[in-house]
Structure 1
Amino acid sequence: MVDMQRGLFTNTLRPAMLKRMGLGCFFCWLWTAMQNPTAPAGARTSDSFYFTHWIIVLVSAVATFAIIAATERLLKQGATRLLSKRATIIALAAYALSLGFPLLAGLSDDLRHPVAVIATGALSAWLFVRWGTSIGPNGPRELIALSSFALMFAFILAIALYELPAQITQAIVALLPFASAAALQSSNEKPREAASPDEEPTATPAKRASLKFFGTLLIQGMAFGLLHYLYGTVVLEKCDDPYCPLRHLQPLFPISVEDFYGFVSIIGLALAAVIILIAIKALRLNFRKLLYVVGFPLMALGFLIIGSDAGLRAAEGVSHASGLNFVYGEVIYVSGYYYVIVIAWALCAHLGRTGKESYASTYTWSGLSLLGGQLIGFLLSALTTLLEVSRSNLCFLTLFALMLSSLLIVTNDTLWAEWGGVKPSETETMGTFRRACASIADAHGLTPRETEVFNLVVHGRSMAHIAESLVISRDTVKTHCRSIYHKLGIHSQQEAISLVEAEMSIERDQRVQGL
């Protein structure tokens, strides 16, 4: 099993920490550029500016994902070259040129802003895939450990940045992708070899199964599109409750009340890191439960709280929100969103190990689903202004869509069968079971034939089944069983099963302590 803490307190500390901090810079930049509703400067002064900004940046990201997907599909073997370090340097140079050239050329703000936004969307998509293909081959456990640290680092970094004056913050944020890419480029750690079937699960994902998974990510992205739409049409009022924590937090940052409500969503990244560690401890790598029993209901809970704000129940073009319920729901939703991103990345790493799909393909399609859904959700939400639908009803509709997609997927046994189960906890248990049997056989000196019989006995097989499976007579099976029972000091099949379960329990405790 891959040690989740590997690299934290060993002689590989420096490169491992550099990689974690680099991914943290990417998460911070991704949140700032693609998720923070108050990201566009001047958003509150013009509704058209706000909507145009998000449409441009999302279209740019989606187009980049589509180009990567098409190129990877056409070139196959050229996908590695496409996502190589040299190509990343070229992408960064193009991003820097798009930011600096319009300024040097003296172009107006109306022209400079779209160019910068297009470059931001394209680079965010590129780095999304580049990071996925870099850390995915290390396996889902290593990816989850690295991403959890990165989320917490992104939270701390954002808090520090927003303490600074706005112009300095914007300048540093513009440099975050360079810091992230530098950490990515300087990492010389080679992907670890794929673990044996006993240690890591294997699966054979079918196309239909993958499409259903990416479809749920599309719905997740659509929910974020609605959140951005709400920010463009909701007037966030200052919290008047004397016990409201927002009253005490907002003065700590040199930003307006409206911008502060958007900024508070960064707390969701830290909360996501905590939830990930707790969920992995409880559910291990059971992706079915991690994604659709924890992640999607968590996002739905966020919209339930947002929709409960009384100010969102009006159907007018602009609604009012007290801020308290709105922000609480926003934080919970964002935590669920980034929680699902990390678990989805881990699932992509798991699927990539099967060899049926390349890492570039799985991470590209997951990013395309997330940001493509965000674009679709933003546009569809904007169309609802023509239908006079209240913002509260939109939240409850989104809640219903999230829970319905979660219910359909989590109860679809055919889907999980197509993925080879993709329930690593079960596969992992079978691997532990085999190791426990082998350990007991070695410790008590069972012969190879006795070991074969013992494996079938502890699976609960009858003597007739064992005789048929091993092509031996029943009398021979009885002889082997008497010898096995004598060597193990037991008297029944149930005692043999209990012995294996005890051995599994010991190994499981040792593995959990090593996480």
Structure 2
Amino acid sequence: MSNEHVRNLFNAAEERRSVAFGVGRSAAGRGCIALSFACYTAWMMACCLGPAVAVPVPPGCLPLDAGAAAGLGSAAAVSVPAWAGPVLAMAVSSVVIAARFRRTRRVPSGSSQLVALASIMTLAAALHLTWALDRSLPEVADAVLYGAASALTGIGAALFRVEIDRAFGWVGTQQTLYQGMLGVVAGTGLVACLVFPTGGGAESLVILQAGAVALPFAAAALLRRVVRGFPRRRYYRYGADMPLPFPAKFVATSAVQGVAAGVLHAILFLLGASFAAVPALVIGQLIAVGLLFATLVFVRLDFNRFIYKVAFPFAAVGFLLLAAAPQVPWAGVTVLFAGFCYLDLVLWSLGACLMKNMGLPATWVASCPGAALFFGVLAGGAVTCVALGGHPREDAAMLAGFVACLLFACALFLSSGSNLKHGWGTVLPGEGGLEAGDLEGVVRFMATERAVTQRETEVMLLLAQGKSRRAICEALTVSPDTVKTHVRAVYRKLDVHSQQELVDRIVAERERLVDDAEEVALG
């Protein structure tokens, strides 16, 4: 790697200060998004925790010791975690939302939408709390109550995910990272305040679930306050008339993440440690925020490196720790929660990139990867329960080692080639120049739309600044033939035939973006 590339990998002193101060300004200016995100994540966690669920199965469909492992004493039923129902409902709801939007392109935008959504989420939390507190109901009534709570939780989570994504897409990738980090800190603080004072036992779980009843309306009110500052029609209709390319690599990435998360949560369930893992979750998420902040301050990474060369190996190391030291599983579990949170934040920012930079609608960007994530969790959990059978402690280490290898392999496979036809792999998550309409931001915006590579983008920027080809050779320390190849590629992808035509195209795009920014400022 050349010295120039090494220098470009690290932020300059002024860039480091800009990121550090940017987080503080983001908290002061748009903190309501972070608080709404915190309420949403805490609500979803509470609605996915609870006692095990006994699901009847036909005789002969279970391993001989599965019933004993589940503590049911009979092979006619299997014990599944409480999160299975809500996650299944989230997956199905996400598919329905995506399919309906693709067919109708309709987006609810009435003032009562968030109120109705908060009402669904509140009812889901109340039903889940009732079900968790009273397991003495007849089997049919218990199943109906759990099914209703799961269905409402899934619908509410999938729909609110779209609304959060819509806000993230409007503020851009940089603000999404900042608000996401702030939201994680606020959410972990909220969960800690509800759980830790009572010692972390069954009483703490009840308090967390009771608190979840009040969180949806708080989340909706905070988000509604944010939305009032945006141009209403454009905010809801943004991207609704655009073509809908299927984000295949984003979906595949979310599916792999879901499978890995499903394996972890299934292992915790089989070991009877789902709720006991809450402290590890809190610590892991705070570690993730600290590491992501440090990465943004000191290093310039594009999405391709962020996701496949940092986040995936991060999670793989957690599984390796779990495999290497099964007698002290909490070290590996904490690292895994940190890795998944780190990856979550980067993927939220990627979703904002697809919306802000590429014009895709929030409903599509939230629902397609969301469905893959939730189905992946179910698949990973099911495979884990079948693979471990009645011996979770003995076999968990071997499974964890296998998943670590799988994550490394997926990282290598998914990071190769271009990421989507839009080229999001070359975009830096921490950049927020588009809001200001600056030249570099506009060039990057156009480059992502036309699948222009990172090196071609550098050439494109220098051309936009009026540099000659000789000056570009000197600035990038490459040969004239290399510059000629890159210039031809840029002209072809942007459908222009000269440097002046390219400059005119970029100027027109910058004027449009400046008009958009002024419209947002005027509200």
Same fold? TM cut 0.5: yes
Q: Does the CA contact (< 8 Å) of 1:136 and 1:345 recur in 2? A: no
Secondary structure of residue in 2 paired with 1:78: coil
What does the per-residue CA deviation read over 1:358-404, in whole Å, with 9 as the maximum and x for residues that have no partner? 12111111221211110111112222246989222211111111111
Determine the structure 2 residue equivalent to 1:301.
Answer: 317
Q: Give structure 2 stretches of 5+ with no counterpart.
A: 1-14, 54-68, 233-241, 444-462, 475-479, 488-496, 501-523
Determine the structure 2 residue equivalent to 1:124.
Answer: 157
Q: Does the CA contact (< 8 Å) of 1:283 and 1:289 recur in 2? A: no
Distance 1:433 1:339 in 2: 25
Distance 2:316 2:185 in 1: 23
2:226 paired with 1:226: no
* C-alpha spacing 1:93/1:160, structure 2 compared with 1 (3 Å): closer
Matched residue type, 2:169: G
Aligned match for 1:134, one of 162, 167, 180: 167
Per the TM alignment, residue 27 of structure 1 is displaced from its structure 2 partner at its CA by 2.2
* C-alpha spacing 1:45/1:395, structure 2 compared with 1 (3 Å): closer
Determine the structure 2 residue equivalent to 1:338.
Answer: 341
Determine the structure 2 residue equivalent to 1:58.
Answer: 87
What does the per-residue CA deviation read over 1:236-284, in whole Å, with 9 as the maximum and x for residues that have no partner? 7xxxxxxxxxxxxxxxxxxxxx743444222111111112212222444
Give 1:236-315 correspondences, 5 Å limit. Answer: 259-284=275-300, 286-309=302-325
Q: Does the CA contact (< 8 Å) of 1:7 and 1:16 recur in 2? A: no
Distance 2:129 2:50 in 1: 18
Aligned pair count reads 403
* Most deviating of 220-229 and 277-286: 277-286
Per the TM alignment, residue 335 of structure 1 is displaced from its structure 2 partner at its CA by 1.2
Distance 2:245 2:152 in 1: 32
Look at both structures and tell me which one has the larger radius of gyration over its CA atoms: 1
Give 1:2-401 correspondences, 5 Å limit. Answer: 8=24, 13=28, 16-34=30-48, 39-41=49-51, 46=71, 50-51=79-80, 53-78=82-107, 84-89=113-118, 91-92=120-121, 94-95=123-124, 98=127, 110-111=142-143, 112-162=145-195, 163-164=197-198, 165-166=203-204, 167-191=206-230, 207=245, 210-234=247-271, 259-284=275-300, 286-309=302-325, 322=327, 324=328, 326-385=329-388, 390-401=395-406
2:475 paired with 1:459: no
Q: Give structure 1 stretches of 5+ with no counterpart.
A: 194-203, 237-257, 310-320, 436-449, 472-515
* C-alpha spacing 1:333/1:33, structure 2 compared with 1 (3 Å): farther
Distance 2:191 2:499 in 1: 63
Distance 1:451 1:180 in 2: 43
Distance 1:66 1:347 in 2: 20
Per the TM alignment, residue 421 of structure 1 is displaced from its structure 2 partner at its CA by 5.0
Secondary structure of residue in 1 paired with 2:107: helix
Distance 1:420 1:42 in 2: 41
Distance 1:71 1:395 in 2: 38
Secondary structure of residue in 1 paired with 2:412: helix
Q: Does the CA contact (< 8 Å) of 2:296 and 2:430 recur in 1? A: no
Q: Does the CA contact (< 8 Å) of 1:297 and 1:402 recur in 2? A: yes
Per the TM alignment, residue 174 of structure 1 is displaced from its structure 2 partner at its CA by 3.3
Distance 2:293 2:311 in 1: 13
Per the TM alignment, residue 107 of structure 1 is displaced from its structure 2 partner at its CA by 6.3
Q: Does the CA contact (< 8 Å) of 2:121 and 2:153 recur in 1? A: no
Q: Does the CA contact (< 8 Å) of 1:265 and 1:327 recur in 2? A: no
Q: Does the CA contact (< 8 Å) of 1:129 and 1:363 recur in 2? A: yes
Q: Does the CA contact (< 8 Å) of 1:151 and 1:272 recur in 2? A: no
Distance 1:426 1:128 in 2: 22
Matched residue type, 2:256: I
Q: Does the CA contact (< 8 Å) of 2:126 and 2:210 recur in 1? A: no
Per the TM alignment, residue 287 of structure 1 is displaced from its structure 2 partner at its CA by 0.5
Q: Does the CA contact (< 8 Å) of 2:388 and 2:396 recur in 1? A: no
* C-alpha spacing 1:82/1:424, structure 2 compared with 1 (3 Å): farther
Q: Does the CA contact (< 8 Å) of 2:93 and 2:158 recur in 1? A: yes
Q: What do you get for the CA RMSD once the two structures are aligned?
A: 4.3
Matched residue type, 1:40: G
Q: Does the CA contact (< 8 Å) of 1:279 and 1:290 recur in 2? A: no
Matched residue type, 2:378: L
Determine the structure 2 residue equivalent to 1:246.
Answer: none
Per the TM alignment, residue 433 of structure 1 is displaced from its structure 2 partner at its CA by 11
Determine the structure 2 residue equivalent to 1:419.
Answer: 423
Secondary structure of residue in 2 paired with 1:415: coil
Distance 2:177 2:464 in 1: 37
* Most deviating of 114-123 and 401-410: 114-123
* C-alpha spacing 1:54/1:451, structure 2 compared with 1 (3 Å): closer
Per the TM alignment, residue 145 of structure 1 is displaced from its structure 2 partner at its CA by 0.4
Per the TM alignment, residue 56 of structure 1 is displaced from its structure 2 partner at its CA by 1.4
* C-alpha spacing 1:99/1:84, structure 2 compared with 1 (3 Å): same
Distance 1:458 1:271 in 2: 44
Q: Does the CA contact (< 8 Å) of 1:416 and 1:422 recur in 2? A: no
Determine the structure 1 residue equivalent to 2:520.
Answer: none
Distance 1:86 1:157 in 2: 22
Distance 1:121 1:434 in 2: 38
Determine the structure 2 residue equivalent to 1:253.
Answer: none
Q: Does the CA contact (< 8 Å) of 1:61 and 1:122 recur in 2? A: yes
What does the per-residue CA deviation read over 1:160-181, in whole Å, with 9 as the maximum and x for residues that have no partner? 1112343333311333233222
Distance 2:111 2:321 in 1: 43
* C-alpha spacing 1:122/1:426, structure 2 compared with 1 (3 Å): closer
